Amino acid sequence: MTGPEQAAPRVERVVVAEDRDGQRLDNFLASRLKGVPKSLIYRICRSGEVRINGSRAKPDQRVAAGDEIRIPPVRVAERGESGPPPATQLERIEAAIIHEDRDFLVIDKPAGVASHGGSGVSFGVIELLRAARPHDTLELVHRLDRDTSGVLVLARKRSALVALQAAIRAGQTEKHYLALLAGTLERSPWRVDAPLRKSVLQGGERMVRVDEEGKPSRSRFIELERLGAASLVEVALDTGRTHQIRVHAQHIGHPLAGDEKYGARGFNKAIRERGLRRLFLHAARFAFELGSRSFHFHAPLAPELAQVVTALQRQPLARVAEDD
């Protein structure tokens, strides 16, 4: 029963402030509806309950200063539909913090943890950190795939978020990854300039392919060490498309180890025998400048990946037969 001390939730109509101009709608809603899972935010957007100036809106739509956002009532039960994050998850994500200042919070994201919740994931990095630090205003600056480990940057101020995202779009950041590829590179560095296009299969699975009508995508593959029929490489990104490294590696005939979507079955099987249990992709470095300040964030190769490299150094991989 609803009493005077617990009034029924009502529709909110919120005017977007200047410092929220250009923010994605899903992030705007997450900052208003503390503790609400991203899956629920996507649901109320898809249902048409959320409106921008009276019109239906998609979660990735950008809001503008002065827009009126209609936010439907969200019951307390719905807010906690997944329950609070387990304490072990909160401890793990806090232990992964590698840098913190007035503008940014940076973690060395473990593999297996999504950047944000949704699509069957109750708690991603952003939900866990918001739960661990309820008084902070945190936003993801960029994303890493769930199976990718390494440097992930979050903004603690709207101004820092906007400035760094603008630098990313302008190609003014440096992002370097470590990856294990099948075979040995014919040249190093190997510059790949191949446009990428996203598509969604009938079952809802997201796929990316090289397509002349896709978005410009550029990667540089630099060989670090030959390990028999495998190569440890550094990958520098000039653009940041979905699955860019994985698809570009497949495109040049040297797919990533442990890649079940774009990889080679025979190579993956051989690497599994050396102890690999995940995608071998690690965001090792993220550097940029904002005004007079320079930022350099580093994350060492994840221990479970370093163990695979050690195993291959002791016994380099023999040539693997190509998949049928």
Domain assignment of residue 237, given as a range: 171-314
Asked if the model's pLDDT at residue 120 lies above 70, the reply is no
Asked if the model's pLDDT at residue 111 lies above 90, the reply is yes
Residue 67 belongs to some domain of the structure: no
pLDDT at 205: 73
178, 209: one domain: yes
- Find the mean pLDDT for residues 106-117: 91
Nearest C-alpha neighbor of 208 from the set 243, 237, 179: 243
Asked if the model's pLDDT at residue 55 lies above 60, the reply is yes
203, 296: one domain: yes
Question: Which CATH number belongs to the domain containing residue 142 in this structure?
Answer: 3.30.70.580
Tokens coding 254: 């040297």
223, 281: one domain: yes
pLDDT at 74: 80
124, 192: one domain: no
Residue 303 belongs to some domain of the structure: yes
150, 221: one domain: no
- Find the mean pLDDT for residues 121-135: 84
Residue 164 belongs to some domain of the structure: no
Active site residue 26: no
Cβ density class 264-283: b for 16+ within 10 Å, e for less: beebbebbeebebebbbbbb
Phi and psi angles of residue 108, each rounded to the nearest 5 degrees, phi first: -95, 90
Question: Which CATH number belongs to the domain containing residue 274 in this structure?
Answer: 3.30.2350.10
- Lowest mean pLDDT of 113-127, 135-149, 185-199, 277-291, name the range: 113-127
Tokens coding 128: 């866990």
The 3-state DSSP class for residue 26 equals: helix
175, 151: one domain: no
**Binning pLDDT at 50, 70 and 90, where does residue 199 land?**
confident
Q: Which amino acid is at 225?
A: E
120, 207: one domain: no
Q: Which of 67, 145, 211, 238 is catalytic?
A: 145
Asked if the model's pLDDT at residue 96 lies above 50, the reply is yes
Alpha-carbon torsion (250, 200, 38, 58), positive or negative: positive
Question: Rounded to whole angstroms, how far apart are CA atoms 178 and 162?
Answer: 27
The pTM of the full predicted model, rounded to 2 decimals, is 0.79
Residues β-bridged to residue 178: 234, 282
Cβ density class 101-140: b for 16+ within 10 Å, e for less: eebbbbbbbebebbbbbbeebbbbbbbbbbbbeeeeebbb
Residues 6+ apart with CB under 8 A from 180: 227, 230, 231, 232, 233, 256, 257, 258, 271, 276, 280, 305, 308, 309
What is the overall mean pLDDT for the chain? Answer: 88
DSSP 317: B
Domain tally, the chain: 2
pLDDT at 1: 44
